[in-house]
Amino acid sequence: MKTILSKEQLALTIKRLAHQILENHPRLEDTVIIGLQPRGIFLSDRIVQELEKLVPATAIQYGKLDITFYRDDVRKSLHIASNTDIPFSIENKNVILVDDVLYTGRTIRAALDALLDYGRPAKVALCVLVDRRFSRELPIQPDYLGKAIDTIYSQRVTVLWKENNDSEQVMLLDN
């Protein structure tokens, strides 16, 4: 077990991601943020909290997307559906998808499929906390990245949040 990001590093990384998003989308005009259920919303909630310190809360359009039934492995294993909450149109908007760990790319592919049920965005960008490079099965890369790490197949990246754990950190576990 190895700590990739400590609690302090995690907070700084989230702050940096929020600033990078604002750098590319000043005042968040025509931009929406969508966290992926279930684990991506912990990161997206934090990014939105940071953005609220920098721009009026009314400028932030924030939604949550469940991709359970868009996954290509839904029949192979049990997935519990979460709620989708997108109370705005994404038509011709810049959408920033937020997830915790980018691994094979299949979750993001499912998110792109699910997103199209809510309209046709002008552009979709991806924000992830951890990119497990060299594990990709699909040609998907993050636009906003907290930390890139090299892992092997037998390793697992775990992101701990105070909302569902006693501590906050990102860890690399050997199975």
pLDDT in tens, 110-169: 999 999 999 999 999 999 999 999 889 999 999 999 999 999 888 999 999 998 888 999
pLDDT in tens, 22-75: 999 998 999 999 999 989 999 999 999 999 999 999 999 999 999 987 877 655
In this prediction, residue 13 has a pLDDT band, given cuts at 50, 70 and 90, of very high
Q: What is the CATH number of the domain that holds 46?
A: 3.40.50.2020
For the purposes of burial, counting CB atoms within 10 Å of the CB of 91, is it exposed (0-12), middle (13-18) or buried (19 or more)? exposed
Q: How far apart are CA 64 and CA 158, in angstroms?
A: 21
pLDDT in tens, 101-122: 999 999 999 999 999 999 999 9
How many structural domains are present in the chain?
1
The range of the structural domain enclosing residue 30 comes to: 2-174
Give the count of beta carbons closer than 10 Å to the beta carbon of residue 153. 8
Element (H, E) at 128: strand 123-133
**pTM metric for this prediction:** 0.93
Alpha helix positions (H), 33-85: 40-52
